[in-house]
């Protein structure tokens, strides 16, 4: 297998008090590509491993939050190409979304014959975090951390992404190509002045929205505990304050205040459950044809005090801003 040359790029990273740019290099690992079945997306993919390292002093290592991928036109391998970055930001995989096994076998054979074709056609783009997609976060390397515009960290519609994941997947990030990371969310909001924006859409098209003060997510050593203050504005059904000071829970890590696992009773989705609280925006979105007979507790929903029942949502979006 031919070795690949180094690709240099600029990547946004979080270090110290600011998010700023550093030069890094990406080296493809000198080993064959692998084929794996992604049970979240229900399809096969080819993976080509790479390592990430800083260009410069060893004591000034970056933490890479993600890489976007661009492929030269006409040389796109006929499939989608994305990148996954490890939690520590020092390694990752180039992913070819080939779908079926036959196509994956063809792509793997082509890459293994001469993987130099990959680094000749693929470019990595500097990115930051936006819901699971990545896009640039503008910031300065200044003594005080800069303000952040609206950053979307959850967007759920059409069940295109499954939020029925275990603890490790939530912590490290998931999605295809989206990536939601608990540790990254914590690094951007911890010990800052932030506001949470919760938007939900009903099946009749009505959009409700609530803005809440004092939003932050603590570190994994505190199980990504949520802090959220009083509502500042909006008409969102449910009481977000019921989830304040709650640790994050998944079906395999029960940190809620209930005698039973709220994740299990709310469709196995992860969330900051209380006992079990008012909101569950990460559950499966119920099929509209089943709306009248569905128990909304098992789906993406919130509890309405006014109507004394749970409301099934067609879509939800969570974001935050910081000053």
% of the chain at pLDDT higher than 70: 71
Q: Provide the domain limits for residue 105.
A: 26-131
Q: What pLDDT score was predicted for residue 292?
A: 85
pTM score of the predicted model: 0.57
Q: Pick the more confident residue, 265 or 181.
A: 265
Per-residue burial over 244-256, b = 16 or more CB atoms within 10 Å of its CB, e = otherwise:
bebbbbbbebbbb
Q: Indicate if 197 and 68 belong to the same structural domain.
A: no
Q: What is the pLDDT of residues 104-127, one digit of tens each?
A: 888 888 888 877 777 677 766 545
Q: How far is CA 187 from the centre of its chain?
A: 14
Q: Indicate if 111 and 161 belong to the same structural domain.
A: no
Residue 1 covered by a domain = no
Strand partners, 10: 23
Q: Are 145 and 135 in contact (CB under 8 A)?
A: no
Q: What is the pLDDT of residues 265-300, one digit of tens each?
A: 888 899 999 998 899 999 999 999 998 888 998 999
Q: What is the pLDDT of residues 208-258, one digit of tens each?
A: 999 999 999 998 889 999 999 999 988 898 889 999 999 999 999 999 999
Q: Indicate if 310 and 172 belong to the same structural domain.
A: yes
Q: What pLDDT score was predicted for residue 309?
A: 86
Residue 21 covered by a domain = no
Q: What is d(CA 281, CA 318) in angstroms, rounded to the nearest whole number?
A: 9
For residue 155, give both structure tokens: 């967007």
Q: Indicate if 251 and 156 belong to the same structural domain.
A: yes
Q: Indicate if 177 and 290 belong to the same structural domain.
A: yes
Q: What is the pLDDT of residues 185-219, one digit of tens each?
A: 887 887 788 999 999 999 999 999 999 999 999 98
Query: Considering its fold, how many domains does the chain have in total?
Result: 2
Q: Indicate if 44 and 155 belong to the same structural domain.
A: no
Q: Indicate if 108 and 47 belong to the same structural domain.
A: yes
Nearest CA to 44 out of 79, 76, 68 is that of: 79
Q: Indicate if 294 and 156 belong to the same structural domain.
A: yes
Residue 252 covered by a domain = yes
Residue 69 CB-density burial (10 A; 0-12 exposed, 13-18 middle, 19+ buried):
middle
Q: Pick the more confident residue, 80 or 194.
A: 194
Residue 92 covered by a domain = yes
Q: What is d(CA 246, CA 92) in angstroms, rounded to the nearest whole number?
A: 32
């Amino acid at each position: 297998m031919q070795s690949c040359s180094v690709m240099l790029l600029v990547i946004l990273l979080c270090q110290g008090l600011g998010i700023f740019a550093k030069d890094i290099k990406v080296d493809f690992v000198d080993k064959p590509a692998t084929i794996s079945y992604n049970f979240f997306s229900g399809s096969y993919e080819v993976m080509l491993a790479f390592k990430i390292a800083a260009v410069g002093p060893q004591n000034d290592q970056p933490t890479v939050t993600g890489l976007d991928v661009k492929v030269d036109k006409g040389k796109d391998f006929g499939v989608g190409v994305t990148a996954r970055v490890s939690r520590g930001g020092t390694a990752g995989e180039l992913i070819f979304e080939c779908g079926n096994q036959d196509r994956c076998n063809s792509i793997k054979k082509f890459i293994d014959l001469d993987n130099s074709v990959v680094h000749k056609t693929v470019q990595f783009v500097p990115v930051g975090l936006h819901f699971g997609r990545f896009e640039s976060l503008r910031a300065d390397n200044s003594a005080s951390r800069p303000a952040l515009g609206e950053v979307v960290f959850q967007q759920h519609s059409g069940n295109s992404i499954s939020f029925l994941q275990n603890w490790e997947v939530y912590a490290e990030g998931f999605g295809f190509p989206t990536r939601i990371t608990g540790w990254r969310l914590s690094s951007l909001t911890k010990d800052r002045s932030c506001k949470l924006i919760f938007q939900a859409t009903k099946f009749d098209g009505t959009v409700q929205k609530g803005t809440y003060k004092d939003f932050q997510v603590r570190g994994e050593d505190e199980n990504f505990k949520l802090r959220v203050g009083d509502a500042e504005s909006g008409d969102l059904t449910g009481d977000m304050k019921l989830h304040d000071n709650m640790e994050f829970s998944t079906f395999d890590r029960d940190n809620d205040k209930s005698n039973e696992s709220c994740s299990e009773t709310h469709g196995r989705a992860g969330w900051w459950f209380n006992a079990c609280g008012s909101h569950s925006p990460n559950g499966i979105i119920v099929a509209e044809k089943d709306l009248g007979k569905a128990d909304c507790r098992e789906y993406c929903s919130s509890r309405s005090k006014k109507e004394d029942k749970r409301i099934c949502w067609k879509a939800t979006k969570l974001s935050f801003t910081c000053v």
